[in-house]
């Protein structure tokens, strides 16, 4: 048995993992899928949240577990994974980046996203008047995130997506070879992703090679579009 902690991406919440939680638990594992601060059902004010806050939140969950965990992150969740691994390298069994931002030291998500010129995210962003949060235009949601999902899945997601705090996206990731670099990592790439293109995913993997790369022929949201295949990939991380 392994303990999995599933870290959601931007605009999402722990809800997005519901099919994966069920499948991993059915396989005999413990699974936690928290809402990061200010997202999902959490009501922490958007303007107050930092990347350090999310890192501390996840580190506290890691510390509460009786064994080293498999730490999984989707999309923006990748920057939280990297920071958590830097803080708690001995408490993480494997890092799993699910079409996620795997960034070198000193790079921010904002910097990395700006180089992925074929991504549909950039043109669809709507920044709040106070410059503290960002949303995605409703009409762009399906094509950007859920191209291989059912209409019901898209409707559910549209109802549950919330605004994303901007400060963490502009914060540079700080990692070292001796701490973050000591934790085994696996990358799940998605070939039809329109939010982080396959080229963008592979560019990040080339800069920070992983122990293994698993390819899924699907969109940005394999937890909805390919739950069985994603679960199989996650189970490899516990071997």
Residues of the chain with pLDDT under 50: none
Tokens read off for 7: 């870290």
What is residue 182's predicted lDDT score, i.e. its pLDDT? 98
CATH number belonging to domain 3-236: 3.40.50.1820
CB 81 within 8 A of CB 71: yes
pLDDT of 92? 98
- Domain residue spans of the chain: 3-236
Structure confidence by residue, pLDDT tens digits, 129-179:
999 999 999 999 999 999 999 999 999 999 999 999 999 999 999 999 999
The predicted pLDDT at position 239 comes to: 82
Contact 198, 189 (CB under 8 A): yes
């Amino acid at each position: 048995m392994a303990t999995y902690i599933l870290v959601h991406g931007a605009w999402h919440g722990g809800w997005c993992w519901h099919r994966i939680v069920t499948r991993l638990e059915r396989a005999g594992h413990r699974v936690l899928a928290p809402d990061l601060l200010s997202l999902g059902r959490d009501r922490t004010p958007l303007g107050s949240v930092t990347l350090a806050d999310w890192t501390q939140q996840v580190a506290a969950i890691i510390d509460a577990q009786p064994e080293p965990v498999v730490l999984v992150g989707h999309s923006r969740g990748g920057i939280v994974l990297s920071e958590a691994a830097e803080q708690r390298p001995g408490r993480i069994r494997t890092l799993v980046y699910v079409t996620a931002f795997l960034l070198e030291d000193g790079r921010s998500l904002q910097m990395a996203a700006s180089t992925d010129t074929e991504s549909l995210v950039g043109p669809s962003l709507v920044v709040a008047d106070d410059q503290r949060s960002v949303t995605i235009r409703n009409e762009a949601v399906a094509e950007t995130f859920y191209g291989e999902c059912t209409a019901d899945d898209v409707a559910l997601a549209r109802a549950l997506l919330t605004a994303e705090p901007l400060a963490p996206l502009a914060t540079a990731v700080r990692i070292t070879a001796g701490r973050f670099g000591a934790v085994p990592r696996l990358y799940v790439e998605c070939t039809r992703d329109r939010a982080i293109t396959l080229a963008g995913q592979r560019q990040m993997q080339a800069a920070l090679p992983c122990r293994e790369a698993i390819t899924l022929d699907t969109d940005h949201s394999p937890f909805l579009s390919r739950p069985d295949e994603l679960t199989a990939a996650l189970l490899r991380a516990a071997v």
